Amino acid sequence: MKGYGMVIVNEAGWLDKPEPTPGPLDAIIRPTLVAPCSSDTHTMHGGAGPKDDLILGHEAIGIIERVGKLVKNFKKGDKVVVPCVTPDWLSTGVQNQRTFSHDSFLMGSFKFLLSKDGTFAELFHVNQADANLVKMPETGVSDEAALMTTDMMSTGFHAAELAEVQYGDAVLVIGIGPVGLMAVAAAQLKGAGRIIAVGTRPICIEVARSYGATDFVNYKEGDVAEQVLQMTDGRGVDRTIIAGGAGDSLHTAIVATRPAGVIASVNFYDINDKLAIPSLAWGLGMSHKDIRGGFCPGGAERIRRMLELIANDRIDPSKLVTHRFYGFDQIPEAFKLMDKKAPDLIKPVVYLDRDDPAAAS
């Protein structure tokens, strides 16, 4: 079976691997639409340590090819949306967490890339299908919108959950790549008043505005925290969401957030990032500025809820899709685009089951 991934650190390429087989509770999926993510490129560059011969990809929708004997609610041919986080629900770890993210160990519920091959393949494996797969809604949700729920939307919305946005809150969103953009939409859908976004790329600013951002800060025009404090008459924002940057984002967040506010991070830091809490701005420990951070919740219900939001016209995450590719052999092109982070890129997708409609005409 063919798959695309990392041959070794810093080298992406085609791999040939045996077809996956399902355990009794599992399913094998033939992907029809996939998207590369910066976590994929980050992994390829060694960000998750040395790995080789690993198929990348963790965002996909597709068609079930096989199911294990004990699977009850799905069968071959079902079209499904696949969460990027698929906990082992029989581990006891999930019983102590609201997000089910860390089944047997830190991040354990994230299986793709971390403990098995990913979705850039002819076929891929999903554990515990009944608890981790969601049927594609028959109407009201496009393939692209559904694909965006699997990581970008679920992660961005988790940021607003971690931040516990309240009605009328001023919310700062640092970073408006695809996850930050979803966090903007999520903050609006939790009742934020003002939403201040930090970013400079025109395409991102435009989409952020459409998702509810009311103000923008350009880090090239001065210290971000200072600008935010000025915009809020020295008061600071009620909540800050970190969806980009390195350790400096944390510093900015703590300075820009009011006492008893919340800093919520969904940023994937580098192992070498310096995450320093500025002692004075954190009130020498007395400020009640909570610092929270984690990746997106796992399981089928999580994604079903995201799909409900789309089906009921609360949000359209397919606005994130700026580039479309057609055909399995185009995965490398999409991957390279994500790796380069072109200025007009938010998110590329690859249709694996259809030809370019433009080419057809």
Residues 119-158 that bind a copy of itself (CB under 8 A): 128, 130-131, 157
Scanning 12-20, 302-310, 316-324, 326-334 for contacts with a copy of itself by CB under 8 A, the matching segment is 302-310
Total residues contacting a copy of itself by CB under 8 A comes to 88
Q: Which of residues 331-360 bind a copy of itself (CB under 8 A)?
A: none
Measured from the CB of residue 299, what is the shortest distance to a copy of itself in angstroms? 5
Residue 360's H or E segment, with its range, is helix 357-360
3-state DSSP call for residue 93?
Answer: helix
For a copy of itself, the binding residue among 170, 172, 207, 320 (CB under 8 A) is: 170
The 8-class DSSP code of residue 186 comes to H
R_g over Cα of the chain: 20
Query: Should residue 214 be labelled a site residue for a copy of itself when binding is judged by CB under 8 A?
Result: yes
State the binding string over 183-212 for a copy of itself (x if CB under 8 A, else -).
---x-xxxxxxxx----------------x
Query: Should residue 112 be labelled a site residue for a copy of itself when binding is judged by CB under 8 A?
Result: no
Rounded to an integer, what distance in angstroms lies between the CA atom of residue 255 and that of residue 252? 5
207 close to 215: Cβ distance less than 8 angstroms = no
Which residue, 32 or 265, has its beta carbon nearer to a copy of itself?
265
Measured from the CB of residue 169, what is the shortest distance to a copy of itself in angstroms? 8
Which residue, 38 or 166, has its beta carbon nearer to a copy of itself?
166
Query: Should residue 168 be labelled a site residue for a copy of itself when binding is judged by CB under 8 A?
Result: yes
State the binding string over 251-290 for a copy of itself (x if CB under 8 A, else -).
--------xx----xxxxxxxxxxxxxxxx-xxxxxxxxx
112 close to 58: Cβ distance less than 8 angstroms = yes
The 8-class DSSP code of residue 269 comes to -
Query: Should residue 74 be labelled a site residue for a copy of itself when binding is judged by CB under 8 A?
Result: no
CB neighbour list of residue 281: distance below 8 Å, 6 or more residues apart: 251, 254, 255, 287
Query: Should residue 13 be labelled a site residue for a copy of itself when binding is judged by CB under 8 A?
Result: no
Query: Should residue 89 be labelled a site residue for a copy of itself when binding is judged by CB under 8 A?
Result: yes
Which residue, 282 or 351, has its beta carbon nearer to a copy of itself?
282
Backbone angles phi, psi at 173, to 5 degrees: -120, 115
For a copy of itself, the binding residue among 6, 15, 25, 80 (CB under 8 A) is: 25
297 close to 112: Cβ distance less than 8 angstroms = no
For a copy of itself, the binding residue among 18, 98, 220, 233 (CB under 8 A) is: 98
Tokens 């071959």: give the residue. Answer: 76
Structure tokens at 19: 């077809």
Rounded to an integer, what distance in angstroms lies between the CA atom of residue 53 and that of residue 50? 11
Structure tokens at 232: 């809020």
3-state DSSP call for residue 199?
Answer: coil
